[in-house]
Amino acid sequence: MHSIRPRLINENGLRVDGRRPDELRPIKMEVGVLEKSDGSAYVEFGGTKVFAAVFGPREAHPKHLALPDRAILNCRYHMTSFSVEERKPLGMTRREIELSKVIREALETVAFLEEFPRASIDVYIEVIQADGGTRTAGLTAASLALADASIPMADLIAAVAVGKVDGQLVLDLCDLEDKYGEADMPVAMAPRFNSVVLLQLNGKFSPSEFKKGLTLAQKGIAEIYRLQQETLKKKFSASRPMEV
Ligand code: CDP
């Protein structure tokens, strides 16, 4: 049987969308984009488009779930039905339940939940369009939305996937690279502490590819972190009252 696997790196060493192996997709970020929530963010990595909204801290509901010493962090990662080509089930799939959990665990490492006993903080991530790297874009957006909601945190979380396509390590995979590549490794970090808060691997890396991949992810994360800080500064300096 013939394989219809597309070629992912061309003779000039460029990727399907024209990027170099170590290049991120064009990134857009904005905070305070929604009015009904306490904090919100919109993040775009090329064709991947994600909203995040945060409510809280507010009284935990139902009350019996409240914790006496800290806030509960609820997190829901969801892909809209129109974000992918295939017919996606309306409810939460197993994949979305798993991603909600790993995203929550990553956010819990930085949020000062003990400052809000008996409260809940609810994080909603909606993928509007999926083109690879939705969990990493979702996490990047969620930490911006938490900051926008003034939830105290030890650091922001910045995330990106690295992978292997046509035997070559690449940064920030698009959907085609994710589907037809040999490996995909999403990485999220609290960059201030140089601490990895999420790392998954789908496929195979040799130990040296793993090391190089992690270094490549760190490079992308440093750039994403810089953009996050810039985005927050822009919002908060615009909303600060004028000095007289
Ligand atoms: O999005 P992310 O890379 O974090 O997760 P994934 O499970 O590795 O999915 C990779 C990509 O596959 C997504 O970004 C979508 O573009 C695509 N996908 C899809 O088309 N339909 C799904 N039900 C799930 C994923």
Which residue ranges of the chain lie beneath pLDDT 70?
1-3, 240-244
**Cα dihedral value 24, 25, 26, 27, nearest 10:** -70
Q: What is the pLDDT of residue 240?
A: 67
C-alpha distance from residue 126 to each of 162, 202, 204 (Å): 22, 23, 29
The residue whose C-alpha atom lies closest to atom 21 belonging to ligand 1 is 84
- CATH H-level, domain 27-233: superfamily: GHMP Kinase, N-terminal domain (3.30.230.70)
C-alpha distance from residue 41 to each of 3, 33, 123 (Å): 40, 6, 11
- Each residue's pLDDT tens digit, 65-82: 999 999 999 999 999 999
Q: Which residue out of 88, 128, 131, 178 has the highest number of ligand 1 atoms within 8 Å of its CB and is therefore the one to mutate? A: 178
Q: What is the pLDDT of residue 238?
A: 81
Q: Which residue has the tokens 């808060």?
A: 197
**Nearest atom in ligand 1 to 95's CA:** 7
Q: What is the pLDDT of residue 51?
A: 98
What are the contacts of 80-88 at 24+ separation with CB within 8 A?
80/126, 80/127, 80/128, 82/128, 82/129, 83/127, 83/128, 83/129, 83/130, 83/134, 84/130
**Nearest atom in ligand 1 to 175's CA:** 16
**Nearest atom in ligand 1 to 184's CA:** 8
